Amino acid sequence: MFLLLFQWLLYAIALMVVSRIVPGFIVQGLWPALIASLVIGLLNATVGFLLKIVTFPLSILTLGLFLLVINALMIMLASSIVRGFHVRGFIPAFWGAVVLALLGMLIRAFTKNDA
């Protein structure tokens, strides 16, 4: 349980890092980042999962790069839901998805559970 809460906090911090790197990607503090990371996770687990199933052939043709487009769409949808988290268009959402994917790989590498 502690590992899950710790990863949630790290993903929220990753969102704040992305807001410093990607222009047009705005996070106004830790609380909006925590809520946005939770909403993005829930959206990826539900709507994103269905979109990934439907677009599976396209993902194969693009060698998985289309998954970044789906993640960018989930980020844009989350920014329309969460107050204090705003993304100004598709291009910042796409680059935000790229940076979040890279930071997510680092987070998973450092917090993997060997038990």
Confidence of residue 2 (pLDDT cuts 50, 70, 90): confident
pLDDT reading at 115 higher than 70? no
Write down the pLDDT at residue 36: 95
3-state secondary structure 25-50: EEECCHHHHHHHHHHHHHHHHCHHHH
What is d(CA 5, CA 48) in angstroms, rounded to the nearest whole number? 22
pLDDT in tens, 96-106: 999 999 999 99
pTM above the 0.85 mark? yes
Of the candidates 4, 36, 2, 1, the residue with the CA atom closest to the CA atom of residue 18: 36
What is d(CA 32, CA 82) in angstroms, rounded to the nearest whole number? 7
Domain ranges of the chain: 34-115
Provide the token pair at 94: 């796409």
Write down the pLDDT at residue 105: 93
pLDDT in tens, 29-53: 999 999 999 999 999 999 989 999 9
Q: Which helix (H) or strand (E) holds 63?
A: none
Write down the pLDDT at residue 81: 93
